[in-house]
Structures are given as structure tokens and as C-alpha cells.
Amino acid sequence: MTASAYIVGTFDTKAEELRYVAGLLRQAGLHAITVDVGTRLSAEDADVPAEMVADQHPAGRAAVFKAGDRGAAVTAMTEALKRFIAAQSDIGGIIGLGGSGGTSIIAPAMRALPIGLPKLMVSTLAAGDVAPFVGVHDITMMYPVTDIAGLNRLSRVILANAAHALAGMMRHAVPQATDHRPALGFSMFGVTTPCIQQLTARLGQDYECQVFHANGPGGRALEAIAQAGLLQGMVDITTTEAADHLLGGVCTAGPERFDVVAKTGIPWIGSCGALDMVNFWAPDTIPARYHGRLFHAHNANVTLMRTTGDELEQIAAWIAAKLNASPGPVRLLLPEGGTSALDAPGQKFHDPAANAALFAAFERFFLQTDSHRLLRLPHHVNDPDFVRIAETQVRELVPL
């Protein structure tokens, strides 16, 4: 099947620009398909008219073309486009043109496509915070400089560069990897860096080690890679994002953290690294309910709060419930000597009583089976002995 370039936008406001980009892609030798996601007037010359996209909405096209309710129409078209794009089997690359409305419609459909498939969004929002649109996916955002409101000597150049960029991504094959080592995804924070550095050094000869910073986006990226089938195992030593999610910290990966383990059954070897802390920005950003707690100034802009035994019980119950749902093998390693560099004898967050509550809660809520095992280890998370045991578990669950 010929791989096609999909050009997506609202033909009721950007038809000229969309036709221009499609023409350039065809000149580059690509099969191009234009898709109209307008919510008002449908373009007769779009390869896929807006009505055809809208038909993909669960409630049909009537849910999209609501008279006088543009917000509801945009929301409905967003859902319809996601379903339309997911149903196409010939997408070799996709380019979208849009302002705020168009970007809101197109970006979610791009995020639903596989990682590695070329995605380029020309958006008037690209000079600002693009996190809501990109998420943790490989969407290239390009700022058009002028508004996307007609062709002129500047917009022709910007849009041509965008079209040629997509053509280049589609026409030039990615060199085939010669590395056949199983790929592992690791979660790491500054306070668990010694553990991960030792682990990757010990495993790196036999496994491809990909490290993700457990700061919220990093955890989401780790799980997106796993969901895409690009990992053979997760070495999730640093699960601190769960604490931030449940207690209102700024490094949350959201309520879906760990769900990929249940969805895919990917081998999971993990621990409770950095669960001794919740992350906030500068002190004046900390919620009033936490005043009087034990804090550590990581730097001028980041403040860490020590978790209590009660909070750790809540966190353990939440993580255990997620892991219990996995159909695959799970190894949960509990470092009784401490969970982070700050949680060690003589360090500010060392609290054996709070940790004891954490470990007891994991034993209570984590359901052990032949394939789901919990190991209590008399070591600190950054100790070489803990690392060696973690290495053994990885090699057992992710064979070469």
C-alpha cells in the first residue's frame, strides 16, 4: 500500500494554504490526501470532506455540526478526527495547519499515531507553551510567524519549509538499527542517580538502556514508549511521581501512571525510589495545608517535602493496585535502608518509622503470586548490593 501524506486543517478558513501544502507534497512525489476538519462550511475539493470525518463521531455528524455552538463543535470534531485517523491504514506522515481551534482538533489525532511516524503541526500557538498539544509524543511544532490567513511572500516560505520537512521525513527511510539488544526503560531522579548509573553500567553491554527523568513528563514518556512496544522491560526504580500525583506535587505523571503495565503485561522490575518526597516549586507555591512540614530546598525554585507514614500507606496502596492488575511478571524491590539520597542515615529525610509504614503497606496491598513477587532488601536504594539484586531480577524477567 502506498504511504500517503495527510494534510489536515479547516478548509472554511485555511483552504488556500492547505491546497498549497498539498501541491508541494505532490510535487515532491508523495501521494497527498487533504482532510477538512472545518465545523461550518465544507470544502467541495477536499479529498476527505468534513462530513466524512464527522461521521466518525459516536453520535454521528449531528454532534459536530451544532448550530451556534462552536465550542461543542470543535470538541466533537476533535473526537471524530481521532477516530478517523485511527481507522486509516495508509498514513505515512501527517501535517496540520491551524490556529488555536485547528491545533486543538488536530494535535490529539497526531498523539494517537505511533511514535516514529512523521507528524508536523504548523500552529500559531507554537511560540508558546506547546505541552498541552505535544504531550510526550514526537510532534514537530512549527511557528508560522504570520497568522495562517492567506498566502503571501512570507507564509509561502514557511509553509513550503513545512511541506518539504514532511516530505523529507517520509521519503528518507530511517537507517535500520543494528542493535538487537533488548531495550529497557529506567526511571531516575537526582536522588536515585547512583542506583541507575550502576545498573545501566552493569546491564549496558547486554541491554539497550533508556533513562527517563521521573519529573512527570518523563514518566509519561517512559510509559508511552512501553505502550508503543519499543521496550522489552521497565526498570521503574523511581516511582516518586505517584507521591506527587496523590499529594499535589508538581512532578505528577497523572492518574494513568503504571497503567501501561496492566495494559501490556510488560515485565516490570521496580522499587519505591524517592517516595520519601513530594516536589513543589519555590516555598511560596506550597499549599497552605502543608505549612509546618519538613522541607528541603533543592534549589531556589524547587522545594521537597518529606512524606509521612500515613501518606506513604496511601501511596503504596495506589501503586500496588496498579501492579496487581498486570498480567505479566512483576518484581517489587523494597530498599529497607532508604529510598533516596536524602533518605539515608544522617540525611534530612531519613525516617525509618515512615519507611516502615511504607514497606508494611506494600506487603499488605501487593498481591504476591508465582509471577508477582515482593522482595524486602536490607539495603539502601543506591547501594551496590541493591543494584546487584535488581540486576539479577532484570536478567531473569528480560532474557537475552
Please write the tens of the pLDDT for every residue from 257-302.
999 999 999 999 999 999 999 999 999 999 999 999 999 999 989 9
pLDDT tier for residue 176 given thresholds of 50, 70 and 90: confident
The residues, ordered by sequence, that sit 6+ positions from 88 with a Cβ below 8 Å of its Cβ are 6
Q: Is 29 left (phi over 0), alpha (psi -120 to 50) or beta?
A: left
Say what the pTM is: 0.86
* Cβ-contact 265, 327 below 8 angstroms: yes
14 within 8 A of 144, measured Cβ to Cβ: no
C-alpha span between 224 and 259 (Å, rounded) = 11
The pLDDT confidence band at residue 203, using thresholds 50, 70 and 90, is very high
Query: How far, CA to CA in Å, does 266 sit from each of 13, 211, 258?
Result: 45, 17, 11
Cα–Cα separations (whole angstroms), residue 303 to 216, 278, 300: 16, 8, 8
Confidence of residue 177 (pLDDT cuts 50, 70, 90): confident
Q: Which of the 8 DSSP states describes residue 43?
A: P
pLDDT on residue 399: 94
Q: Is residue 69 scored above 90 in pLDDT? A: no
CA 347, CA 177: separation in Å to the nearest integer? 44
Tens digit of each residue's pLDDT (9 = 90 or more) over 8-19: 999 999 999 999
pLDDT, position 67: 61
In whole angstroms, give the CA distance from residue 399 to residue 393: 10
> Which H helix or E strand runs over 88?
none
Position 74 pLDDT exceeds 80: yes
> Which secondary structure element, helix H or strand E, spans residue 376, and what is its range?
strand 372-377
Percent of the chain exceeding pLDDT 90 equals 93
Measured between alpha carbons, how far is residue 304 from residues 139, 243, 250, 283, 349 in Å? 32, 11, 10, 9, 10
Locate 203 and state its grid cell. Answer: 546491564
The H-or-E segment that residue 374 falls in is strand 372-377
Q: Is residue 190's pLDDT more than 70? A: yes
Closest CA to 125 of 107, 94, 103, 110: 103
Q: What is the mean pLDDT of residues 183-195?
A: 97
The Cα–Cα gap between 188 and 54 comes to 43
